[in-house]
Structure 1
Amino acid sequence: MFKIWKKISFVLSIIIVILALYFIINVRSDSNDNIVADTRIINHEIERLNKMIVIEQNYSAFRTKDFNKFNSKYLDFLNKNIVLYITAKAQVVYDMKKMIVEVDSINKRIHILSIPEPQVEVFPNVEIYSMEDGMFNRFSKSDLNLVMEEGKRDIYKEVEKSNIKSLAKKQLISNLQDLYSMAKLYRWQIQDDTPYAKDLIPLND
């Protein structure tokens, strides 16, 4: 009787070991499958980020340029002035294809190493709206070239003072938030070494 129970115990032990091994193998397999699936989702989200972020604004302004060499009220008719109509299209571009990101699927970590600096481009157009020559004091070609260049510089200054850069940054942060939210959903950690990390800290807690 004792020998029978001993055999049964031995068989049961083998069955338990086999079941345990089967369970461990399946758990590991499921875990590996989950890691692969999660990594694909994370990589897809990063690929969605790898595109141009472009913010555009249009500008227009009138600028009057006076050439008053003769200040006497009796000689005012000799002075000349010109009115320019200046238009421009400005763009702020983040080329996110140059973003450097490392994905560590084993430790479930996303490491953002760098994000390209924004590029500001301005495409100005300057037209003469009106022009008054002074008697014996005509506009020369060099005068016109000079005033045109001044008009372009004026519109560049206006673009610099505008909110176009902050709008572009907000769009960048909004796009990065999607990646942060996805990482948090799948319990991945993000290590962000860029200056934009401070704007996204709450999402990484």
Structure 2
Amino acid sequence: MKTPAVVGFYGKSDAGKTLLITKLIYRLTNGGYKVATIKITDKEVSLDGRGKDTWRHSQAGAELVALSSPIETSYIVRERRDERRIIWDIAKLGQYDVILVEGARDPSIPKIQIGDAERRDNTVGIYKDNFEEIIEIIKREITKIKQSANDKTIIIRVNGKTIPLGDFPSVFIKNTIVGMLRSLKGVDRVDKVEIFFGY
């Protein structure tokens, strides 16, 4: 399973998040990158329509409904999932280079601020008509993930037993922890991390 880079975007309503992301998708895919996206919203919306067969399946109790047609496949899960879980699910579905997250809040995700907005943790850039700079930030994140995938320095022991990790879980866990640590006050850089705890 390939480990994708993840870059989030946030800003006020009507700041141009969707417009910027669609331009980025177009540019990145034309540059040979495989792109996936996530849209996070607080509005109660559904892709599924009342009375449709898939709606009936979920109303009958199905926790996950998949629709496959000649033009697309959709998965509908009847629960709100956090960003990290959605990223994990997407990474298992395909070989993506980057996942762009509109409305990202997770502190471990590097983010681009669009326009004037309250700054969020792990903001790595601000978009104000500097499209090429944003493209370069995304490419740097993709490069970092590729390098991180080659650097398997994460070791997890549970009750004294070392747990074997594949590429994706290793990079996913490592980048999540590093992202969270970078958002803490007093942490400028992360070279080595030691975490010990018990129940």
* Band of TM-score, shorter chain: under 0.3
The structure with more radius of gyration? 1
